[in-house]
Amino acid sequence: MSAPIDLPKWADTVLVPAVSVVAAFFVAGMVVVGIGENPLTATRLLLEGSVGTGEGLGFTLFYTTNFIFTGLAVAVAYHAGLFNIGAEGQATLGGLGAALVLLNLSFLPGFLLIPVGILGAAAFGALWGAIPGYLQAKRGSHIVITTIMFNWLASVLIVYLLVNVLREPTNMNPETKAFPAQSQIPFMHEVFAAFGVEIAPSQLNLTFVLALAAAYAIWLLIYRSRLGYAIRTVGFNPTAAVYAGISPARITVIAMVLSGALAGGLAVNELMGYQHRLLLEFTSGYGFVGIAVALMGRAHPLGIILASLLFGILYQGGAELAFEQPAITRDMVVVIGGIIILFAGALEGLFRRLVARALMPAMRQARA
Amino acid sequence: MLPAIQLHAINKRFGEVHANKDVNLTVERGTIHGIVGENGAGKSTLMSILYGFYEADSGEIRVNGKPVSIRSPNDAISVGIGMVHQHFMLVETLTVVENVMLGAEGGVMLRGGEAKVRAELARLSSDYGLEIAPDAIVGDLSVGLQQRVEILKALYRGADILILDEPTAVLTPAEADALFELLRALRAQGKTVVLITHKLREIMAVTDRVSVMRRGEMVATVETKHTSPPELAELMVGRRVLLRVEKAEREPGAPLLEVQNLSVIDSRGVLRVANASLNVCAGEIVGIAGVAGNGQSELLEALAGMRQPVLGTIKFEGCEVRFDQHNPHGMRKLGLLHVPEDRLRMGLVSAFPAFESAVLGFTDDPRLGAGPFLDHDRMIADLTAKMEAYDVRPRAPRLKSSKFSGGNQQKIVLAREIERNPKVLLVGQPTRGVDIGAIEFIHRRLIALRDAGVGILLVSVELDEIMNLSDRILTMCGGQITGERKANETNEQDLGLLMAGVTEQAA
């Protein structure tokens, strides 16, 4: 038993995460020292590669877009008390949905085809989230187990479909033919060029704006709407929800539908915005990192955007770092990411205590 | 003889809250010493400091005259202090012997320790008349017997000073009497007992001396035989309180809620309410007395539409409640509102700011915001007005629900339900964990509501409360309604028998 730690809100939302990240970088720096490299050089390379150049920043924000979608997906389920491990599979199905729509409705003009493609991605992702949601709500099958299984089902299904059904007969790779040209979401450098502003070309596309809009919409939904109220009630206290006349089963399914649809956003960014075809393993772990993003962002959309940016920097800067300093491999960068997750997520309580102790004299003085 | 416990100038702060301010306390050896105070007065904090859960910011503890430093429960045990918690710390799947042994196994192998425990248990049982089967599974024992296992655990560890935290909250009146017998036997053997409670009747019945705490301070220590419940209540609250609310006789109006042969099973398929029939008329308070866990909770939940009964009919204002109306929304629409028994598990969402908890169950109301959205400014303004009317402290609608004291949380829930103009109000345990000052307020509100013509069904495990407020009293035992009495034609013994299942025919 220990006394609850009460911190002012600014300390809770800004100071504690900042201290965690600094501590994580410090420990990661020690690891870099351990393999005989200079951590300051490594940090400089990491930051230069991710935010130092226009191109690097473009790639960083491209990854950020992926993390925002998967982070929001995990967060919405989390608010309903559900741990959705299945963003990976839901995004995979989202890719299938987008591909089916785009390849079959290629006669539509772009301004119709793009929204319909996005809806296709969201709908298929939602469906893949809804089934575990339904099983949890009606059969009590634990959502963690079912969503993990659905990740495997999704990956097996997509392999089968790409190898046997969707592949062009002439193509040796398990991928579809290219999406129709009018369905491709414009790259950011193209958009800027249209207004006469030149920025460095990168994968970054307009989906980034969609991700920010989605974050705002989810904030409105969770914190300002009746449905969000019901979702949070179920998440915090299902008994109170029953008392209030809110059906936890119904909310469970709705939250998983929303969660799956958001995970579909990953497919929109990766496929409609960049690859322009459906291919294997385009989700490459973003769904799982979304869990860390949501935890670090405390399931709040603004926190998720910031955490996504951090992970975007790590991804892009890490790739540059591995390239410039071969001693620091990609695996090393993964280790650094892991340390950040560990510090920001698991050890948060430790830092809360430290911050509280450091602030205590100031708080006492403020009272007196 | 040196006192068993001396606390000198104990201070403890939790953030903004000064939970103990320069507290002094002396407990003489071989006495039963009561500590009373409202919720949040600092009694539990003080005892937690004595038992080593918290460390005091400053102050001195002496046990048997010697200054001691108690930093953990182990330190407390080593100086002879034992504690029996309100929520038992027992492993239900283990036997009595195994539970007593837990944490004092005496070596890697159990056999040696077990023999020692058995011998010691036999001695303690004969010394104090504690009848308990050493090989019984703890989960099978009644709550009263489980409490004895807790006491045995403390005694086995050599406790000379026993702290009991609200020990009677979970006991029937008869079990409470048996506990008091045991405490007297302990005193006769020279043990010292510290009893924390908010029930003044128990203080009067069993203690030698009583200390009163208010807002973190020790305001008085008096000889029990020289004081009275009204005096103690006044010391606790800091002003005169009425322990009994005045209410005028009133003829009840037309029946509003009529329940016929209602049976309810729980999620495990156990019959919790058996063939219950009752009615509630306009302008009357019907009390349901019973020991906790005899079907009252399930009855309330079934009436509120949270559970589907397996049998029976419910009529509201003369019309049978249809199946599609029998859910929390439908019943609310009819005018049947519900103050649930357990406000933290059901009545509020403790992580929500108060203004969000204050609309729980009513978010469909179009006045709370347009379209799919809730208008926070309007919700805050609404709760601010209610906080004023119900004297909720602090008046902070944005504060987290869990940060309010029990009494203030209950006022928030009551305000939410009462201000929606119910026709029938179901009220479960309205004053559980609520301090005396707020109890008086809540009782007045309920009486005013009854005088305004609302039908109230009151469930409470506090017999005093039932007898004080009700016009008519029903007793429940084992899911059945075992009797009905007019409030002014019955007494505690009579109701106690009915609550124990001695039905009219048998009696």
Cβ-based contacts of A236 with chain B (< 8 Å)? 349-352
Would residue A242 count as lying in a domain? yes
Cβ-based contacts of B54 with chain A (< 8 Å)? 1, 3
CB-based burial label for B34 (10 Å; 0-12, 13-18, 19+) = buried
pLDDT of residue A148: 96
Q: Would you call B363 and A6 a contact, using CB atoms and an 8 Å cutoff?
A: no
Q: Which of B206, B237, B268 lies at the terminal end of a domain, its last residue?
A: B237
DSSP 8-state secondary structure symbol assigned to residue A343: I
Assess contact for A109 and A182: CB atoms under 8 A: yes
Would the CA dihedral through B400, B401, B406, B412 be positive or negative?
Answer: positive
Same domain? B166 vs B275: no
More confident call, A365 vs B189: B189
Would residue B505 count as lying in a domain? no
**Half-sphere exposure in the Cβ direction for A55 (13 Å, CA):** 3
Per-residue model confidence as pLDDT tens digits over B401-425: 988 888 889 999 999 999 999 999 9
DSSP 8-state secondary structure symbol assigned to residue B400: B
Minimal CA separation from A363 to chain B, in Å? 8
Q: Which of B211, B237, B263 lies at the terminal end of a domain, its last residue?
A: B237
* Continuous segment of H or E residues that includes residue B235: helix B229-237
Would residue B506 count as lying in a domain? no
Would residue B395 count as lying in a domain? no
From the list A224, A240, A363, which residue is nearest B349 (CB)?
A: A240
The verdict on B349 touching A (C-beta cutoff 8 Å) is yes
Residues 6 or more apart whose Cβ sits within 8 Å of residue B40: B215, B405, B435
3-state helix, strand, coil in chain A (%, to 5): 75, 0, 20
pLDDT tier, A5 (very low <50, low <70, confident <90, very high otherwise): low
Per-residue model confidence as pLDDT tens digits over A205-244: 999 999 999 999 999 999 999 999 999 999 999 999 999 9
Same domain? B80 vs B160: yes
List the single range of A336-350, B77-91, B211-225 with lowest mean pLDDT: A336-350
How many domains would you assign to chain B?
A: 2
Per-residue model confidence as pLDDT tens digits over B130-144: 778 888 888 888 878
Cβ-based contacts of A298 with chain B (< 8 Å)? none
Same domain? B184 vs B264: no
pLDDT tier, B505 (very low <50, low <70, confident <90, very high otherwise): low
How far, in Å, are A227, B172, B210, B227 from residue B204 at the CA level? 52, 18, 9, 8
More confident call, A297 vs A183: A183
Q: Would you call A240 and B348 a contact, using CB atoms and an 8 Å cutoff?
A: yes
Same domain? B72 vs B187: yes
pTM equals 0.81
How many domains would you assign to chain A?
A: 1
Scanning every residue of chain B, which has its alpha carbon at the shortest distance from the alpha carbon of A239?
A: B346
Scanning every residue of chain B, which has its alpha carbon at the shortest distance from the alpha carbon of A1?
A: B53
Scanning every residue of chain B, which has its alpha carbon at the shortest distance from the alpha carbon of A363?
A: B15
Same domain? B308 vs B421: yes
pLDDT tier, A364 (very low <50, low <70, confident <90, very high otherwise): low
How far, in Å, are B43, B91, B98, B165 from residue B103 at the CA level? 27, 12, 10, 21
- For the domain that residue A100 is a member of, what is the CATH number? 1.10.3470
Same domain? B232 vs B261: no
Q: Would you call B347 and A220 a contact, using CB atoms and an 8 Å cutoff?
A: no
Would residue B367 count as lying in a domain? no
Structural domain including B114 reads: 5-237
Same domain? B330 vs B194: no
pLDDT of residue A6: 63
Per-residue model confidence as pLDDT tens digits over A317-362: 988 888 888 888 877 777 877 887 788 766 777 777 787 777 766 6
Per-residue model confidence as pLDDT tens digits over B262-291: 999 987 788 999 999 999 999 999 999 987
Same domain? B213 vs B182: yes
Would residue A52 count as lying in a domain? no
Q: How many CB pairs under 8 A join A and B?
A: 73
Mean pLDDT of the region B79-83: 92
Structural domain including A68 reads: 64-312
Cβ-based contacts of A6 with chain B (< 8 Å)? 14-16
The verdict on B355 touching A (C-beta cutoff 8 Å) is no
Based on its alpha-carbon atoms, the radius of gyration of chain A, rounded to whole angstroms, reads 22
Would residue B246 count as lying in a domain? no
Cβ-based contacts of B364 with chain A (< 8 Å)? 226
Mean pLDDT for chain A overall: 90
Would residue A355 count as lying in a domain? no
Would residue B383 count as lying in a domain? no
Would residue A180 count as lying in a domain? yes
- For the domain that residue B12 is a member of, what is the CATH number? 3.40.50.300
Q: Which of B192, B210, B237 lies at the terminal end of a domain, its last residue?
A: B237
Would residue B399 count as lying in a domain? no
Evaluate if residue A129 carries a pLDDT over 90.
yes
The interface predicted TM-score (ipTM) is: 0.85
Would residue B365 count as lying in a domain? no
Instruction: List, as ranges, residues 312-341 from B with C-beta within 8 Å of A.
Output: 327-329, 332, 338, 340
Minimal CA separation from A217 to chain B, in Å? 12
List the single range of A224-228, A298-302, B489-493 with lowest mean pLDDT: B489-493
